[in-house]
Amino acid sequence: MRQFTGYDDAKKTAEFSAQGKLPAGAYVCKILNVKYEEGKDGFSDRIVLQLDIAEGEYADFYAKQYENNPNEDKKWKGVARIYVPNDDGSEKDGWTKKRFAQWTASFEKSNNGFLWAWDETKLKGLIIGIVFGETGTVINGRNVVYTEPRFPVEVERVRQGKAPEAKFVKKNGYEDAPKTSDDDFMKIPDTDEEAIPF
Amino acid sequence: MTPFEVEDCLSTMQIIVDTREQPSERAKRRYKDFSVPYVRQKLDYGDYSAEFLLNGSLTRIKAAIERKMDLDELSSCFTHDRKRFKAEMERAAADHGTMYLLVENATWENLISGKYRTRFNETAFFHSMTAWIARYGIRPIFCKSETSGKLIQEILYRELKERLERGDYG
């Protein structure tokens, strides 16, 4: 039989839908790109890590997801953000400092010879363990569950299966309603990406 | 080029407005529809093009948009100004540039039925247009004048994105 028009695009769409979301758990990740975003409206500055899974069954998960995404203005979904402390002495800032140091310590322990020297661009190309957790939210009136990076760990703990698990987080009035189809729990629409904190 | 490098390049895009494009009130309204910066520079072909930062250097894309305010102005390009218009198309072709022809306040139907104010024969006009599409690969777009700004930016953005993604710039 003759191939019909649009088959390649339809196949990509089918593969994109079938890929599903990354299961919650700990993964060894590779940092592919680093950006520094200045905070707006009182929010902290952020170091944005664009990453992919580096090892195991889900290696290159985000690259495959990006490749199969049929949207014209698709975004790279493997993103973790490190909030930069304001150094304002507040209790909240103290927590931000601890989390920031947790990231830098995990990078140092995961990459032989690497020492954090206040240059975020040097994080590109490094590996790190990241624990991903599930978050339930409501988008366009529908319950959606997605997986997001929660906290860093050193890669050896991931490899040895000793990394802690992340709790399920509920946001925006998310209820444990029965899902209507697999897609509800698979894909975040690209248009809603900015609302998703990963 | 990785998706991240493509994104970085796209974030630096600015529109080039040819210095011959008159800064009229309509032009200023058009520029207001740009959500990226624009600069006025001489272009070898077309009225609008774009540039972006590649490894620290401003790089111009090989795509341009020639804007005409209506079918009257376009018809003069195939009659009185034919020689100049042809030379412009040939410069674009020699540069392997993609040339869009954005005609405001116009439709194919009005062109074919002679709904314009010059005396250029509608059949000759229609055939000139289609012949030049075949000959120079120009891409005609008809729109209302209030849509021009958005279209100009969108077309140039897509041209740049496609070129970056297919590896034209390494």
Question: Residue A41's pLDDT is what?
Answer: 79
Kindly tell me if the per-residue pLDDT of A42 is higher than 80.
no
State which residues form the domain around B131. Answer: 3-165
Contacts of A46 (CB under 8 A, 6+ apart): A36, A37, A39, A81, A82, A83, A84
Q: Report the CATH number that the domain containing residue B44 is assigned in CATH.
A: 3.40.50.10130
Which of A31, A50, A66 best probes binding to B when mutated, by most B CB atoms within 10 angstroms? Answer: A50
Is residue B170 a part of any domain in this protein? no
Tell me the three state secondary structure of residue A150. strand
State which residues form the domain around A33. Answer: 21-187
Task: Name which residue leads in pLDDT, A80 or A174.
Answer: A80
Percent of chain B at pLDDT above 70? Answer: 100
Is B56 touching A (CB cutoff 8 A)?
Answer: no
Is residue A59 a part of any domain in this protein? yes
Kindly tell me if the per-residue pLDDT of A185 is higher than 50.
no
Question: Residue A184's pLDDT is what?
Answer: 41
Q: How far is it, in rounded angstroms, from Cα B48 to Cα B14?
A: 11
Task: Name which residue leads in pLDDT, B26 or A197.
Answer: B26
Structure tokens that stand for B95 in this block: 């540069």
Cβ separation B4–A76 shorter than 8 A: yes
Which of B6, B7, B10, B11 best probes binding to A when mutated, by most A CB atoms within 10 angstroms? Answer: B7
Interval B133-166: pLDDT, tens: 999 999 999 999 999 999 999 999 999 999 999 9
Query: Structurally, how many domains does chain A consist of?
Result: 1
pLDDT band at A11 (very low <50, low <70, confident <90, very high): confident
pLDDT band at A18 (very low <50, low <70, confident <90, very high): low
Is residue A196 a part of any domain in this protein? no
Kindly tell me if the per-residue pLDDT of A191 is higher than 50.
no
Kindly tell me if the per-residue pLDDT of B75 is higher than 60.
yes
Q: How far is it, in rounded angstroms, from Cα A124 to Cα A51?
A: 9
Beta-bridge mates of residue B136: none
Is A66 touching B (CB cutoff 8 A)?
Answer: yes
Q: How far is CA A111 from CA A31, A54, A123, A184, in A?
A: 12, 14, 10, 38
Query: Structurally, how many domains does chain B consist of?
Result: 1
Which whole number is the average pLDDT over A11-37?
86
Is residue B156 a part of any domain in this protein? yes
Contacts of A165 (CB under 8 A, 6+ apart): A24, A25, A131, A133
Is residue A193 a part of any domain in this protein? no
**What predicted TM-score, i.e. pTM, was given to this entire model?**
0.82
Is B35 touching A (CB cutoff 8 A)?
Answer: no
Q: Which residues of A touch B162 (CB under 8 A)?
A: none
Q: Which residues of A touch B7 (CB under 8 A)?
A: 76
Number of A/B CB contacts below 8 angstroms equals 9
Is residue A197 a part of any domain in this protein? no
Is A68 touching B (CB cutoff 8 A)?
Answer: no
Q: Backbone phi, then psi, for B136, in 5-degree steps?
A: -110, -5
Question: Residue A195's pLDDT is what?
Answer: 39
Is A30 touching B (CB cutoff 8 A)?
Answer: no
Q: Which residues of A touch B4 (CB under 8 A)?
A: 32-33, 50, 76
